[in-house]
Amino acid sequence: MKSFGPVITAMVTPFDEYNQLNISSLRKLIIHLLKHGSTSLVITGTTGEAPTLTAIERLRIWETAVDFAGGTVPIITGVGTNNTKTTIHNVKLAEEIGADAVLVVTPYYNKPNQVGLMTHFKEIANSTDLPILLYNIPSRTGVSLTLESILELAEIKNIVGIKDSSGDLNLLKALKEQAPDHFCLYSGDDSNYLETIKLGGDGVISVASHVAGLQMNQIYQLYQKGKVEEAEALNEKLKPLYKGLFCTTNPIPIKAILNQLGMEVGGLRLPLVEMDQFEALELFNELRGLLDE
């Protein structure tokens, strides 16, 4: 399995002035992220507004990312839905276009119990040889994988890790102690990035790395070299950025910041709406001193 590295960026999906997919801006964003420390890319995840993308748009994004950056960094496609059959179909498409791994969120809205959750992920794992990252985010899905369920799933060869956005650091600590050595642990929240590393985790699947990826990489490198206080100081400096990018629903703030930087990622699709221009400029001015130079 390829290493995903410590700073995986959960990419936004750029739209044009007509709110259609902007492939040109997508390529520019990928170039930007590769220059600014992203060690892998997650495409068509929550930050990529996956719920409002058509099947054709999703496939075009995957093909563009794989063609443009495949072989440079791992490309991880967000494929999860609340329908096991549909998710398996998405996994097959990801295989065909050459994705390196898939990110599979816990099924939302139908609220399966733990047996249902485990059966869902086992069926998906049995359908593919691609590496699978579990995605646990109870605030958006209404369900959460338990420690026992994750440990059972971690024994499956191609279930290789988890993006955890539960905010439960005790869960990550227990997983580090009990899961197989090959099982990767990623924070799904920028605010828990350094704490996850301290627990022996592998890094973060990040929103802030769109604009601070070099610094986030530096945090990891400093910590690995034993320069803990320097890593803590840099992480503390970035905390207002972590918080500011979630002042309202993700990816509204990060798209506003990227547009202020001239990245032309466009607006959002309903039911998400953009920040008004004054709020966007105010946020940018508050955070601009924290961004990578």
Q: Which residues are catalytic?
A: 135, 163
Q: Phi and psi at residue 204, in whole multiples of 5°?
A: -140, 145
Residues shown for the chain:
293
Amino acid at 13: T
Query: 195, 283, 193: which is closest to 241 by C-alpha?
Result: 283
The DSSP bridge partners found for residue 136 are 164
Query: Do 82 and 108 form a contact (C-beta atoms < 8 A)?
Result: yes
Phi-psi region of 102 (alpha: psi -120 to 50; beta: other; left: phi over 0): beta
103 burial via Cβ count (<10 Å: 0-12, 13-18, 19+): buried
- Cα–Cα distance for residue pair 18/52, rounded to 1 Å: 15
236 burial via Cβ count (<10 Å: 0-12, 13-18, 19+): exposed
Using CA atoms, how far residue 251 sits from 175, 212, 287, in Å, is 29, 16, 16
The DSSP bridge partners found for residue 184 are 161
Query: 291, 195, 190: which is closest to 250 by C-alpha?
Result: 190
